[in-house]
Homo-oligomer: A and B are copies of this chain.
Amino acid sequence: MTTPQYSVAVGDVEIDDEFWTPWIRRNRTETIEYQYDQLEESGALENFRRAAAGREGGFQGMWFQDSDAYKWLEAASYELAKADDPGLRERVDEVIDLIAGAQREDGYVNTYFQLVEPDKQWTNLNMLHELYCGGHLIEAAVAHYQATGERSLLDVGVGFADHVDDVFGDEVDGVPGHEEIELALIKLYRVTGEDRYLDRARYFVDLRGHDDRLAWEFDHLDEVAGHEYSDGDAAEGAEVVFTDDDGEYDGSYAQAHAPVREQDTVEGHSVRAMYLFAAVTDLVDETGDEELWAAMERLWENMTTKRMYVTGGIGPEHEHEGFTEDYDLPNETAYAETCAAIGSIFWNQRLLEHTGEAKYADLVERTLYNGFLAGVGLDGKRFFYVNPLASSGDHHRKGWFTCACCPPNAARLFASLGQYCYSTRDGELYVDQFVGSTLETTVDGVDVTVEQSSSLPWTGDVTLAIDAEGPVPVNVRVPEWATDATVTVDGEDADVDGAGFVRLAREWDGETVEVTLERETELIAAHPAVEDDVGRVAVERAPLVYAAEAVDNDRPLHQYAVPSDADAEATHEPSLLEGVTTLDVDATVPDLDGWDGSLYRPASETASEEAALTLVPYYAWDNREAGDMQVWHRSDLS
């Protein structure tokens, strides 16, 4: 069994797309290279060397630094899955050797504990990320095995998983403060066929919210690991993030406030929530647990209708890096962590593949082009951890972070993007995302080839040339944003009934499917309960959300008002920001005549004049001269 993370393997898809290929190339040539250097510079590799040598102390970095190496291995493995690369393979093998060398005979590996607090393993599940790091080890192990067929890292992952399976439910009962092990164990189950990994994932999912260990640790902070770690007091950190407004313990930070199957609202640290829900969706897919599925549907509904930015970004609040209340979506102080957007893509892709419902692919698309993509600079070297929807000009991407979770997370998403373009389900093929690419896969044993070309995101023309050795139905997504859509097979119209998948059930012998997706520049309003957006409009030219930057506009951005029926002119500018379509939207600005020497005047005496507000895709902001940015513009909405 070598079921990939999703139903199509990374190696089955070769992307060749005008929009995405440069991102993926920069990811390979800049990000992955740079991150390898960082593993050495940050001490991540040295930590493994010291652990392998049986030394004590000298640990460098945050206590979850091991995960940087694992995420890099996962991203590098996806690259190896797509094309061999002897140089990269050699470095991958070196890093695997270090990790294997550091692993104890009982399977445990975590250089923080091995070097700093060897007698305090599993004492601080809340904050010390042992299971989180182990989960990333397993994800890397699965990716490496599927890419290369080699068991070098898989054996390390299996050793760790077996150790966890031995310890938990026996010596220790508890759930991790940061979810990740759950989805990793299900991946391991899928690649090994060993039921105990699925059972252990279910144990962690089911125990969450019933378990009182997190609360116990909170009350015994001086007994648990990480109390005096110099790079940040991990134990004390719990006092901040695990308390409610009254200073009482509150498990919602780690989605441990209630059993998952009883949860109604997305709560707490948003990356943790997404990783948990991804695992739960996998679990539902494996077990058919209807109660858990009902929870997934409730939580998705809550997130998408009350707690999500128009970019697909999630988690508005800085201190908890997470969710707050319904409709609390501030723009300038938005957190909307890049990793949370990635986590949302992970979850939604699983929801899509579990249900075959296009709405999940729509959200993957929205998040991919906006909330996620803004996290990475056009140079592939600088990253946003935090993605505000408005800026006064002092928020900029940085090369790296002390808590370096986002850059390697972005790397593994870019490197595996092909997995999100297609999926298979019940013997049918789904074209989920419109990305120029070649798919060679099997659907229920039938070889299928798809050659896709796509003009997205700038225009909506997609061509698919399909070959199959048997009658595999192909489902093509019509996004919710398409104002009109036609799908033809060798020139013959197929039935299109609004948004959703159009099912083309036939034999395939090189037929050409043409998909034409119409869309207009659209002005969007937010629910009136969203205080920051009330009376304002955002501008979309699907799948892109647009933003205004000071560099493109004469007046300060706050002076522009965009009428709700404003016209917009789109212009493709191949030399701007690596090639973008800009929008000039009809707007008004205050007439400055008459204001001379006045600070306050009767409103009835003021006037306005016409102006155009120039917008660029949100993902492209902060790649030029620094200045104000805003997604939501003043309008005439009441």
Interface centre among A305, A534, A564 (most CB of B within 10 A): A534
The docked-state distance in angstroms from the alpha carbon of A608 to that of B405 is: 44
* Complex interface: stretch among A124-132, A270-278, A418-426, A630-638: A630-638
Name the B residues within 8 Å of A603 (CB-CB).
Answer: 523-525, 537, 564, 635, 637
User: In the complex, which of the residues B523, B531, B588 contacts A556, with contact meaning CB atoms closer than 8 Å?
Assistant: B531
Is A485 close to B, CB under 8 A? Answer: no
Is A606 close to B, CB under 8 A? Answer: yes
Query: Across the two chains, which residue of chain B brings its CB closest to A522?
Result: B602
Name the B residues within 8 Å of A534 (CB-CB).
Answer: 558-559, 590, 634
Name the B residues within 8 Å of A308 (CB-CB).
Answer: 599
Is A575 close to B, CB under 8 A? Answer: no
Name the B residues within 8 Å of A598 (CB-CB).
Answer: 305, 527
Q: How far is the CB of A80 from chain B (nearest CB, A)?
A: 40
> How many subunits of this chain does the assembly comprise?
2
Interface centre among A304, A527, A635 (most CB of B within 10 A): A527
Is A283 close to B, CB under 8 A? Answer: no
Interface centre among A305, A602, A603 (most CB of B within 10 A): A603
Is A528 close to B, CB under 8 A? Answer: yes
Name the B residues within 8 Å of A305 (CB-CB).
Answer: 597-599
Name the B residues within 8 Å of A304 (CB-CB).
Answer: 599
B636 A604 Cβ-Cβ under 8 A: no
Query: Across the two chains, which residue of chain B brings its CB closest to A560?
Result: B638
Query: Across the two chains, which residue of chain B brings its CB closest to A590?
Result: B528
| CB within 8 Å for A525 and B556 given contacts A638-B561, A638-B589 | no
Is A526 close to B, CB under 8 A? Answer: yes
Query: Across the two chains, which residue of chain B brings its CB closest to A611?
Result: B638
Majority SS of interface residues in chain A? Answer: mixed
What are the interface flags for A255-294 relative to B under an 8 Å C-beta threshold, 1 for contact and 0 otherwise? 0000000000000000000000000000000000000000
| CB within 8 Å for A608 and B638 given contacts A310-B600, A558-B534, A564-B603 | yes
| CB within 8 Å for A564 and B604 given contacts A529-B556, A556-B529, A590-B638 | yes
The docked-state distance in angstroms from the alpha carbon of A603 to that of B561 is: 14
Is A595 close to B, CB under 8 A? Answer: yes
Name the B residues within 8 Å of A634 (CB-CB).
Answer: 534-535
Interface size class on chain A is: 35 or more
Is A53 close to B, CB under 8 A? Answer: no
What are the interface flags for A220-244 relative to B under an 8 Å C-beta threshold, 1 for contact and 0 otherwise? 0000000000000000000000000
Name the B residues within 8 Å of A595 (CB-CB).
Answer: 527-528
A599 B525 Cβ-Cβ under 8 A: no
Q: How far is the CB of A545 from chain B (nearest CB, A)?
A: 10
Is A592 close to B, CB under 8 A? Answer: yes
The docked-state distance in angstroms from the alpha carbon of A599 to that of B525 is: 8
Is A306 close to B, CB under 8 A? Answer: yes
Is A565 close to B, CB under 8 A? Answer: yes
Is A624 close to B, CB under 8 A? Answer: no
Name the B residues within 8 Å of A524 (CB-CB).
Answer: 600-603
User: In the complex, which of the residues B525, B592, B637 contacts A528, with contact meaning CB atoms closer than 8 Å?
Assistant: B592
The docked-state distance in angstroms from the alpha carbon of A636 to that of B637 is: 8
The docked-state distance in angstroms from the alpha carbon of A598 to that of B558 is: 26
What are the interface flags for A290-312 relative to B under an 8 Å C-beta threshold, 1 for contact and 0 otherwise? 00000000000100111010100
What are the interface flags for A535-562 relative to B under an 8 Å C-beta threshold, 1 for contact and 0 otherwise? 1011000000000000000001011010
Q: Which A609-638 residues have a C-beta within 8 angstroms of B?
A: 634-638
| CB within 8 Å for A600 and B559 given contacts A534-B634, A634-B535, A638-B590 | no
Q: How far is the CB of A223 from chain B (nearest CB, A)?
A: 34
Name the B residues within 8 Å of A526 (CB-CB).
Answer: 599-600
B608 A523 Cβ-Cβ under 8 A: no
The docked-state distance in angstroms from the alpha carbon of A559 to that of B590 is: 22
A600 B528 Cβ-Cβ under 8 A: no
Q: How far is the CB of A422 from chain B (nearest CB, A)?
A: 28
Query: Across the two chains, which residue of chain B brings its CB closest to A536?
Result: B603
What are the interface flags for A508-537 relative to B under an 8 Å C-beta threshold, 1 for contact and 0 otherwise? 000000000000001111111111001101
Query: Across the two chains, which residue of chain B brings its CB closest to A610?
Result: B638
Name the B residues within 8 Å of A599 (CB-CB).
Answer: 304-306, 308, 526-527, 530
Name the B residues within 8 Å of A564 (CB-CB).
Answer: 603-604, 606
A525 B601 Cβ-Cβ under 8 A: yes
User: In the complex, which of the residues B310, B531, B635, B637 contacts A558, with contact meaning CB atoms closer than 8 Å?
Assistant: B531
Q: How far is the CB of A610 from chain B (nearest CB, A)?
A: 9
Query: Across the two chains, which residue of chain B brings its CB closest to A559?
Result: B528
Give 16 new A-B contacts, CB below 8 A, not counting A525-B603, A564-B604.
A301-B597, A305-B599, A523-B602, A524-B600, A525-B600, A527-B599, A527-B600, A528-B559, A529-B556, A530-B599, A534-B558, A534-B590, A535-B561, A564-B606, A588-B638, A590-B638
Chosen A-B contacts, 13 in total, with CB atoms closer than 8 Å, are: A523-B602, A523-B604, A524-B600, A524-B602, A525-B600, A527-B600, A528-B595, A535-B535, A535-B561, A537-B603, A589-B638, A608-B638, A636-B636
